[in-house]
Structure 1
Amino acid sequence: MMSTIKNIVLIASMLTVTSGCSSLGLGVEPWERDLLAKKEMLLNASPVDSALDDHIYFSKEASSGGKGVGGGGCGCN
């Protein structure tokens, strides 16, 4: 008798947990699109800073290639 009650409670709790995801809208709602379109939400919010960081990295590592950057260790190119 006790195991039957435990099973019913377990099944009821599992149904409750799994049904919670079905009512949520998966995806972006129209009123959220303005927030995602902001410049701060880009993966690369500042292309100039990213280019400078890449230039400094490749200059200090004395390597070339990998990201389309030519040149050697001095950073001239």
Structure 2
Amino acid sequence: MLVLTRKLNESIKIGDDIELTVIAVDGDQVKLGINAPRNVDIHRKEIYLAIQEENTEAAAKGSLDLLKQLSDSVKK
């Protein structure tokens, strides 16, 4: 993990297209501004993990449904 120190209104560049700027610091909260292309998905980590979990569950359910349909068609 790379650890960088930034002050208010200072930025970090990620590649050519993404810039993170410290917008505000209030106690233990830091507000970040993220400037990135529209095609880059940006989520809080807990939301990202929830999306990944739902996608995994949906893929597993879809696979089970497909296997059941295939099994039913073979029985006929």
Tell me whether the two structures share a fold, i.e. TM-score over 0.5: no
Structure whose residues are more often strand by fraction = 2
Q: Which has the larger radius of gyration?
A: 1
Structure whose residues are more often helix by fraction = 1
TM-score, with structure 2 as normaliser: 0.31
TM-score, with structure 1 as normaliser: 0.31
